[in-house]
Amino acid sequence: MKRAFLVGAGLIMAAAPAIAADLPVKARPMVPVVTVYNWSGCYIGANGGGKWARTSGSVDVAGATGPAGTGAAGSLPFDGVTSSTGIIGGQIGCNWQAAGSAWVFGIEGDADAQRWSATRTVVGRPGLPFPFVAGDSFDIRSDWQASLRGRIGYAWDRWMLYATGGVAFTNAKVGTNFIATVGGAGVVFPATIVSDTKTLVGPTAGLGLEYAFANNWSFGVEGRYSWYGTQTYNAGLLATLAIPPTGPFTFAPSTQTYKVETLEVTARLNYKFDWGGPVVARY
């Protein structure tokens, strides 16, 4: 009996390696792979939204002496006026995000069509300064804007919050219309219609939020404030003639002065060209 037991145990031990070899082996667990979006690349896109422009200033006419006599200088201040417009245009830029970093650095340029304007018409009132009369009108308008800016963003995978700042450009066209007037002692102020255009340059800054809903497409919203300081525009020469005419009397050049600042909010759609691709992290 003892001998049979020993023989059986020996046979079992001899067969154990073969049996173990036939047992199924548990698979090694897979290491999860997580793909993190990377914002690096150059892009082109379109934008549209709304804009508000605030203007304030004055019209100034300097006194001068001529054959018809000596005229007094006059100044008419403007209250601040806010105008609104829709804007539409496009942008182009590039971003760079280091592997493993949430910070995104970029540069962008944009250009938009717009149409904001403000017109001020003189209303007759006691104490209206010389030589202004009821009906004189003065206006300012703008048809385009552009900017060149840097961007610094912080990304959470496909979401990015960013600040942007740089230099902005816009055109301003100023119009002056002194109406024809017959004054006391037979003095005539002929009508004067003048326009002057300048390209304004000033700082701009804002914030934006962008979401990459596909590897090459992103959508965002951006708000930006721009200020252009105070600029002076030619408003023409205002002349008088006595009746009977004794020769022209000309004021020194009249001018319009405006302070311009704007606020815009745009929705933006960008297409990013592949550059670097997504970062693949394993953990």
Q: Which of 257, 281, 266 is nearest to 209 (CA)?
A: 266
What is the Cα–Cα distance from 96 to 150, expressed in whole angstroms?
12
Q: Outline where DSSP puts E strands in the chain.
A: 33-36, 41-61, 65-66, 69-70, 74-96, 103-121, 137-156, 159-178, 181-182, 188-189, 192-211, 217-234, 239-241, 248-250, 255-272, 279-282
Token pair recorded at residue 283: 């953990």
Token pair recorded at residue 273: 């060209």
What is the Cα–Cα distance from 224 to 164, expressed in whole angstroms?
8
CATH architecture of 32-273: Beta Barrel (2.40)
Residue-wise pLDDT tens for the chain (283 aa)?
Answer: 445 444 444 544 554 455 445 555 555 655 555 578 999 999 999 999 999 999 999 999 887 666 656 666 789 999 899 999 999 999 999 999 999 999 999 999 999 999 999 999 999 888 888 788 889 999 999 999 999 999 999 999 999 999 999 999 999 999 999 888 776 555 667 778 889 999 999 999 999 999 999 999 999 999 999 999 999 999 988 776 655 555 556 667 889 999 999 999 999 999 999 865 555 454 4
What is the Cα–Cα distance from 100 to 83, expressed in whole angstroms?
45
Strand partners, 12: none
